[in-house]
A and B are shown apart, each in its own frame.
Chain A
Amino acid sequence: MSANEVTRRGILGSAAAVAAASPLVGRAVAAENGSRSEKGSAMIPIELTVNGREVHFQLDPRTTLLDALREHLRLTGTKKGCDHGQCGACTVMLNGRRINSCLTLAVMHDGDSVTTIEGLGSPEALHPMQRAFITHDGYQCGYCTPGQICSAVSVLEEIRAGIPSHATEDLDRIVPSEAEYRERMSGNICRCAAYPNIIAAMRDVAGETQA
């Protein structure tokens, strides 16, 4: 894609940025301490490390971590699907563990570290799981993909860490298997049903990293 090509993301992003009209990353703070949001909630100062970068903002306590990432930091890779923890499109890593970012409040995470799809890799230096999703065609529309990839990376780490699942036969011996991947990925829904290819991508990466 050429640099001056108009993209949907670019239009949406710039429109929202104008509406928000505040600097959002770095040391900048979006509102004065003690100020109030439109609906009257007291704003609360938050410091997060997002993809290795320290960010500060003032947030209405109702702001979910998902909305803080998307609407305040413009990290729109993380998707809002159901917004109720059922679909997994919002999956990010919080202090190294995958969670549904839609079901937690940003104010609860002052001082925490978040890794989003943007922090896993970049177009120039893809994470092995991102590359494997491309190689194995692990998506169609792509909306669930950032959540699927964050979950898939975490699943391999959880198996390595000895965390059992419903598919684990012997609680003392957790062996990577297709059954384990399928069970552990059940919190990520794909309406295009790319599941077999997602599993293929995970098996590929597990083989690479365990070799």
Chain B
Amino acid sequence: MKSFTYERAASVEAAAKAAASVQGARFIAGGTNLIDLMKLQIETPTHLVDVNHLGLDRIERTTEGGLRIGALVRNTDLAADKTVRRDYAVLSRALVAGASGQLRNKATTGGNLLQRTRCPYFYDTRMPCNKRKPGTGCGAMEGMSRSLAILGVSDACIAQHPSDMAVAMRLLDAQVDTMDADGVARSIPIADFYLLPGDTPNRETVLKQGELITSVTLPKPVGGTHVYRKVRDRASYAFALVSVGAIFGEDGTARFAFGGIGARPWRTQAADAAAPHGARAVTDAVLADARTTPHNDFKKPLVERILASLYRQQEERA
């Protein structure tokens, strides 16, 4: 690890100010992704601002009937929350499909959203990577790309977004609430939160330096049947090859969000609109612009098979 200075922030405002005023500063919450990357010197913060003690660990009802989830609520606590289990079950399901019990006890809501979009070449400092070192090229493009993204990719980067939780957040139309160093708060729809890689895969979100996630807000519950299906190389503690979060309505409508296939958690209006026409139609809609490699083109039929399985399960329920 490169050396850094450390401070425990006393307030949201102070944390944002500290992170904005020191070049190379980073917030640290659970730290499960950041410290991992610091050990490999892929992340080399000069200063860490610890945001664990800011009282951002509550889950509250909003006046609109939704739910405000503090940025520091741990993944375990969010998955176990009674309201989340009842009204936003896909979020519970997605959370427990991710990582391990130890990691979920530490990882936070805000930190989960901000874990790096990453691939094995990002982790291997002997290989070129436009995300880790802009302009050096991409080792994955001609390399082993089996797990990598097929949607939203660019000539610079084909890394897939690794979060399960974020897929559910995208499905539920979450808003990411932040505060910047000037004390200005804003709410960012999760659809606009993640940037596509384009020519700058090193930039992953719209957040500014020093802008701190304070909470994630869910709109009021939409009802329906919530499911999260994750297919991976082993039964537990592995990233998704493909995952699908779905909410089936009682009127034949449905909405879908996808993990493992996109440079960000993936959802399209076209796929949701195709829902009454079944798995094939939804697959065609969501994968219209897919760009695969010989290693990861299996993800296209896998998307359809997962959807077909979810539809069949839904029919059996009805």
Contact = CB atoms under 8 A, between A and B. Distances in A.
A98 B101 contact: yes
A165 B186 CA distance: 33
A151 interface: yes
A107 B165 CA distance: 28
A130 interface: no
Interface residues of B, number: 36
Contact of A154 (B28, B79, B89, B101): B101
Interface in A48-92: 60-62, 64, 83-85, 88, 91
Contacts, number: 109
Interface string B215-236: 0000000000000000000011
B62 interface: no
A197 interface: no
B100 to A, nearest CB: 3
B298 interface: no
Given A108-B28, A171-B92, A85 B36 contact: yes
Q: What size tier do the contact residues of chain A reach?
A: 35 or more
B35 A61 contact: no
B177 interface: no
A87 to B, nearest CB: 10
B80 A162 contact: yes
Contact of A100 (B86, B106, B236): B106
B6 A164 contact: no
Contacts of A91: 102
B102 A151 contact: yes
Interface in B13-64: 28, 30-32, 35-36, 39, 48, 50, 52
Contacts of A187: 99-103, 237
Nearest to A189: B237
Given A85-B103, A108-B28, A186-B236, A164 B5 contact: no
A99 B35 contact: no
A151 B237 CA distance: 15
A175 interface: no
Interface string A174-186: 0000000011111
B106 to A, nearest CB: 5
Contacts of B30: 104
Contacts of B96: 164-166, 168
B80 A98 contact: no
A64 B35 contact: yes
Interface stretch (A39-47, A115-123, A138-146): A39-47
Contacts of A186: 100-101, 235-237
A161 B39 CA distance: 34
A1 to B, nearest CB: 32
B81 to A, nearest CB: 10
30 contacts: A40-B3, A41-B4, A60-B3, A61-B4, A61-B6, A61-B48, A62-B3, A83-B39, A85-B36, A88-B100, A91-B102, A103-B35, A103-B106, A105-B31, A108-B8, A108-B28, A158-B101, A163-B79, A163-B80, A164-B92, A165-B96, A166-B93, A166-B96, A166-B97, A166-B236, A171-B89, A182-B236, A186-B100, A186-B101, A187-B101
The 7 closest A-B pairs by CB, nearest first: A187-B100, A186-B236, A61-B6, A186-B237, A41-B3, A62-B1, A171-B85
